[in-house]
Each structure stands twice: as C-alpha cells, then as structure tokens.
Amino acid sequence: MGAAAGREIHDLEHERFLEEVHSFEFWFQSVEGYLAGTTYGHRTETADESPTGAVERQRLITVLSNYCIGEMAALEGASGLIAIAPNQLTKIFLSTQVADEGRHLEVLLHRMRELGVKHPAQEADRRASRSLKQFRAELLKLVQGRDWEAAIFAQNVILESLEFAVFRAHAEGADAITKEVLEGIIKDERRHIGFGENELGRRLHGAPHIRTRLTRVREELDHLVLSMLEDSSREIGVPPDQQGELARSYLQSVERLGFT
C-alpha cells in the first residue's frame, strides 16, 4: 500500500514531497513498520527488567509522569493547531500527530500502570514539574491566540526537540520495556520535528520578520526549557559532565532554523 511505496520520496519535487509526507498514507506506512507486533509500545516478549528498588522505581515513575504531561501538552497543542492550520494538507499532517501524541500518552500511562501505579493520570499530574506545567500553559496560550508560527515553533520545534533529546538520552540507559516504548516515540518525534522545521523554514524564508517574533517566544520559553532539561537530566541519571550534551542536542534543532 501507499503512494510513496517503491520510490525515493526525496527525489520528488517540493510540492509533491510535502503532499506525500503530510498525508495519512505516509503516516500509515511509517508507523506500520515499527508499531506492528507491539502492544502498548513494546513487544509482549520483551523481558521486564523494571527497577526493583523502591527509590529507582519511584524515580522512573516521576520521569514517566513528566513525559505524560509533556505528551498531554503536545496532544492539546496539536489538536488545537488543526483549527488554525492554513490548508488541508497541514490539517491532515497534524491529525496524524494528534494520534501519535495520544498514543504516546497512552503507552506512557500504561507503562506507569505496569510499574504499579493505580491511577496514572492523576499521579502524573501530581508529580510533574512546575516548569513543565507552565510550559504547557504557555503553549496553549499561543494556540488559543491563533498564532500559527509561534505555536508551531513552541510545539513542533521546542517541545518536540526537547522530548527527542531527553527520550534519546533516557533510552540509552533504560530498562528494556521503557527503552522500546521510548524508541517508538522517538521515531514519531522525528517526523513532527521535520514538519515543524519545514513549515517554519519556508515561512522564515518568505517573511524574515517572523524571526523577531519567534526569537521573543524562544526567550520567553527558554528558562522553562532549561529548567525542564535540568530536572530531566537529574531524574534519568545523566552524569553532570554529560548534561551539557543533552542541552546541545536540543539546541541543534532550534539552530537548524537559524536561532542561535
């Protein structure tokens, strides 16, 4: 199945390329590859090596709580963006992102349940960091204000890049099930970041004044992002001398759009 099957999508001319990568069909082919045979984001036969020590287990639950709230913010953001998306193609891409974010939330809540949390949604809300909750509120403000560029920047560049960097670092040292769950999410995030970069890259090229506004958005959100990165690094056990690497990985995404 799929319109792009059997040919190299990067060979397509730009408009056709966008049509391809923003379509349900493309999404369908992409996720089929890595979600087939999984249940709640991991293979059923994957060995459960969840931390057995109380402290480590609680720490993992707190980390997952933060991820859940991040994904909830992404779900709210992406669904709200559909209403202000400039065309049908963009609306369709965002709909695939909505389903991705909903899936991420679901697999993370399920992972918390596997770790013994009875009411994961409430627990996630109780444990999530203040800066993350504040970021969620700021993102929704941008969406409700119908500021397409700023909301896409906050959602598909800043939030998604942050999650991408943290999840990748966490997956390296995580237990087998958490690792598989995170790796599935990372694959989706890559698609979302690509969309954000592409959408904003074209708009910045056509209307450079947008950059000034986005720079201001970034300045307003930066302290929250840095605070979230610091919290996450500590919780997932990134050694202090490697924490800069996590921040650099996040910064690379915004730098690709010319924000230094």
Partner 1 sequence: MADTIDAYSIQNWLESCPQSYLENTEYGHAAGEKEPDFFLQNEVLLEETIKATVQLVVGERCALSASSGLINAAPDEASRRFLATQTLDEARHVEVFTQRLYDLGVRKKDLEGTIQRYANPNLVKFAEVLLEKIDRKDFISGVVGQNIVLEGMAFSVFEMMYAMNESVNPKFAHTLSGTIADERRHVGFGENRIGSLIREHPEKRGEVEQMQKEMSYFMLATFADAFRNNRTVDELEAAGIERPHSQYQGVDLGVMAPEDMEQVLADTVLKEFKTRLGRIGIEYQTPTRP
Contacts by 110-114 with C-beta closer than 8 Å and gap 24+? 110/40, 110/41, 111/40, 111/41, 111/64, 111/177, 111/178, 111/181, 112/61, 112/64, 112/65, 112/68, 114/48, 114/50, 114/177
**Residue 43 sits in the site that holds partner 1 (CB under 8 A):** no
Q: Which residue has the tokens 């057995």?
A: 52
Q: In the bound complex, what is the minimum distance in angstroms from residue 88's beta carbon to partner 1?
A: 7
Binding residues among 71-90 for partner 1 as defined by CB under 8 A: 72, 75-76, 79-80, 82-83, 88
In this chain, which of 12, 35, 171, 186 binds partner 1, going by CB under 8 A? Answer: 35
Binding residues among 155-214 for partner 1 as defined by CB under 8 A: none
**Residue 46 sits in the site that holds partner 1 (CB under 8 A):** no
Rounded to an integer, what distance in angstroms lies between the CA atom of residue 215 and that of residue 259? Answer: 7
**Residue 54 sits in the site that holds partner 1 (CB under 8 A):** no
Assess contact for 109 and 121: CB atoms under 8 A.
yes
Nearer to partner 1, 3 or 210 (CB): 3
Nearer to partner 1, 39 or 252 (CB): 39
Give the interface segment with partner 1, choosing from 68-76, 174-182, 220-228, 234-242 (CB under 8 A): 68-76
Q: Nearest to residue 246, comparing CAs of 138, 131, 167?
A: 167
Give the interface segment with partner 1, choosing from 34-42, 153-161, 170-178, 245-253 (CB under 8 A): 34-42
Rounded to an integer, what distance in angstroms lies between the CA atom of residue 65 and that of residue 68? Answer: 5
Assess contact for 111 and 181: CB atoms under 8 A.
yes
Give the interface segment with partner 1, choosing from 23-31, 57-65, 181-189, 194-202 (CB under 8 A): 23-31
Angle between helices 243-256 and 210-236 (to 10 degrees): 160
Q: In the bound complex, what is the minimum distance in angstroms from residue 244's beta carbon to partner 1?
A: 35
Contact letters for partner 1, residues 120-159 (x by CB under 8 A): -x------------------x-------------------
Assess contact for 20 and 12: CB atoms under 8 A.
yes
Total number of residues that touch partner 1 (CB under 8 A): 37
Nearer to partner 1, 66 or 253 (CB): 66
Rounded to an integer, what distance in angstroms lies between the CA atom of residue 163 and that of residue 66? Answer: 10
**DSSP SS3 for 39:** strand
What are the residues binding partner 1 (CB under 8 A)? 1-3, 23-25, 28, 31-32, 35-36, 39-40, 72, 75-76, 79-80, 82-83, 88, 91-92, 94-96, 98-99, 101-103, 105-106, 109-110, 121, 140
